[in-house]
Amino acid sequence: MKTRLLLLLAFGATAVSFAAELPSYTPDANAARAAIPAVYRWDLSPLFASDQAFEQARTKLLTEVATLAKYEGKLADPATLTACLELYFRLHRDANFLTLYANVRQNTAQSDDAIAAMGQRSLAALDTVVQAAAFIRRELLALPPTALATAYAQQPGLAPYRAYIDNLRRRASRLLSADGERALALLGDNLWAEIDLNELPSGYEDAQKALLADISWPKIRNAEGQEVQLTLANYSRFRSSPNSAVRRAAVQALLGTLRQYQHALAATLAGQMKLDVSYARARGYDTALAAYLDKDEVSPAVYDNLVRTVGANTPLLHRYVELRKKALGLAEIHLYDLYIPIVAGVEKDVPFAEARRIIPEALKPLGAEYGRVLAEGLDPRHGWLDLYPHKDKRSGAFSSSVYGPHPFVFTNYQNSLDDMSTLAHEYGHALHSHLAMKAQSSPNAHYVTLLAEIASTCNESLLSDYLVAHSKDPAEKAYLLVERLESIRTTIFRQTMFAEFERTVHQLVEAGTPVTATLLDEKYRELLRRYYGPGFTIDADDGMEWAYIPHFYYKYYVYAYATGLASGIAIADRVREQGEPAVQAYLGMLRGGCSKPPLELLKGAGVDLTTPEPIEAAMKTFARTLDEVEKLLAK
Binding positions for Zn ion, rule: CB under 5 A: 456
Q: Toward Zn ion, which CB reaches closer, 175 or 452? A: 452
Q: Toward Zn ion, which CB reaches closer, 268 or 400? A: 400
Selected catalytic residue, list 205, 376, 426, 502: 426
> Whose CB is nearest to Zn ion?
456
Instruction: Mention every residue, 6+ apart, whose C-beta is less than 8 A from residue 593.
Output: 436, 437, 439, 440, 444, 445, 446, 447
Q: What is the largest CA-CA distance in the chain?
A: 76
Instruction: Give the whole-angstrom CA distance, residue 402 versus residue 137.
Output: 23
C-alpha torsion sign, points 475, 481, 486, 489: negative
Q: Toward Zn ion, which CB reaches closer, 155 or 456? A: 456
Q: Toward Zn ion, which CB reaches closer, 440 or 456? A: 456
Instruction: Give the whole-angstrom CA distance, residue 369 versus residue 589.
Output: 15
Q: Toward Zn ion, which CB reaches closer, 305 or 456? A: 456
357: buried, middle or exposed (CB in 10 Å: 19+, 13-18, 0-12)? middle
- Name the β-bridge partners of 16: none
Q: How far is the CB of 564 from Zn ion (least distance, A)?
A: 8
- Name the β-bridge partners of 333: 536
Q: Which of 184, 173, 172 is nearest to 278 (CA)?
A: 184
Q: Which of 630, 621, 324 is nearest to 487 (CA)?
A: 621
Q: Toward Zn ion, which CB reaches closer, 509 or 601? A: 601
Q: How far is the CB of 453 from Zn ion (least distance, A)?
A: 5
Instruction: Give the whole-angstrom CA distance, residue 273 versus residue 509.
Output: 7
Whether the Cβ atoms of residue 591 and residue 435 lie closer than 8 Å to each other: yes
Q: How far is the CB of 397 from Zn ion (least distance, A)?
A: 8
Residue 290, Cβ neighbours under 10 Å: how many? Answer: 16
426 is catalytic: yes
Instruction: Give the whole-angstrom CA distance, residue 517 versus residue 268.
Output: 11
Instruction: Give the whole-angstrom CA distance, residue 166 versus residue 560.
Output: 23
| Alpha carbon distances (Å) from 327 to 76, 287, 382, 633 | 69, 44, 45, 8
- Name the β-bridge partners of 386: 410
* CA end-to-end span of the chain: 52
Q: Toward Zn ion, which CB reaches closer, 268 or 456? A: 456
Q: Toward Zn ion, which CB reaches closer, 343 or 455? A: 455
- Name the β-bridge partners of 536: 333
Q: How far is the CB of 429 from Zn ion (least distance, A)?
A: 6
C-alpha torsion sign, points 36, 370, 564, 532: negative
Q: What residue type is assigned to position 198 of the chain?
A: N
Q: How far is the CB of 124 from Zn ion (least distance, A)?
A: 27
List, by residue number, the catalytic residues: 426
